[in-house]
């Protein structure tokens, strides 16, 4: 049975991914969280009640020491991580001139350095076994840009460059590296918008609606599976036609 680590798995897309993979009953599931402890522990119990080997581990992925400690716990149980899903991330909305250096650093520390930290810790086991899967989360704004989200878009652009370059480096070791770049997804983050704003958002999506988390999770399930054994270095964008 393979072991999968999902960062930011206590809420939103990450939580839906954990549930979808649990339904397949072929993964040990590591639920990484930082602040959403109650949600993470509830998800851990939910999966365990289904007979899944699940474990919630707190770690701030922007801090290498905490990521190393998380991986040490995983190694003691399962030797290592076969599938790494870098889902955790934060965003910032506002004008660039109002963006402070601290805001910029925080975005990059979580979104980019966080990926570096988890990949850095996951790779030795994957390289030893000559197999593994890394799936990073980008965004349509990483490829196409977004007004008032410069720092977020820049961090996701970095993730896409990391994905393509690392895929080339690791392909000879049979380690696949891809990224998923969703458009607008109906998660808790969207609850801050008014009904009028949500309608405006959906009106600008060719499919006239947001994605549901389970739709992203279903795509994740395929991308990390053996059915997708020959794809690497790709940025897959489920955006409802926003980017074609």
Number of neighbours of residue 141 by Cβ within 10 angstroms: 21
Give the Cα-Cα-Cα angle 146, 151, 153 (nearest 5 degrees): 40
193-202 b/e (C-beta count within 10 Å ≥ 16 → b)? eeeeeeeeee
The closest of 234, 32, 15, 16 to 138, measured between CA atoms, is 234
Q: 135: which strand partners?
A: 85, 178
The active-site residue out of 33, 78, 125, 152 is 152
Half-sphere exposure at residue 144, Cβ-oriented, CA atoms within 13 angstroms: 12
Is 152 known to be catalytic?
yes
Bridge-based pairing of strands 2-6 and 27-33 is parallel
212 DSSP assignment: P
| Residues involved in catalysis | 152
């Amino acid at each position: 049975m393979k072991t999968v680590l999902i960062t930011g798995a206590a809420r939103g897309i990450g939580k839906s991914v954990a549930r979808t993979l649990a339904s397949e009953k072929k993964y040990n599931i590591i639920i990484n969280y930082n602040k959403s402890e109650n949600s993470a522990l509830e998800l851990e119990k939910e999966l365990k009640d289904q007979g899944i080997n699940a474990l919630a581990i707190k770690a701030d992925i922007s801090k290498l020491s905490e990521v190393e400690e998380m991986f040490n716990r995983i190694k003691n149980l399962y030797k290592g991580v076969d599938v790494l899903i870098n889902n955790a991330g934060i965003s910032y909305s506002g004008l660039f001139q109002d963006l402070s250096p601290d805001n910029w650093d925080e975005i990059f520390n979580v979104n980019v350095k966080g990926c570096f930290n988890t990949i850095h810790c996951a790779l030795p086991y994957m390289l030893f076994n000559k197999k593994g899967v890394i799936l990073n989360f980008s965004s349509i704004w990483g490829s196409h840009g977004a007004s008032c989200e410069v720092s977020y878009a820049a961090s996701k652009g970095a993730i896409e460059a990391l994905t393509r370059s690392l895929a080339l480096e690791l392909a000879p070791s049979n380690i696949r590296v891809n990224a998923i770049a969703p458009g607008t997804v109906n998660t808790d983050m969207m609850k801050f918008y008014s009904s009028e704003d949500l309608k405006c958002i959906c009106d600008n999506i060719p499919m006239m609606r947001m994605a549901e988390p389970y739709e992203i999770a279903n795509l994740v399930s395929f991308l990390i599976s053996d059915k997708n054994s020959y794809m690497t270095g790709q940025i897959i964008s489920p955006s409802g036609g926003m980017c074609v």
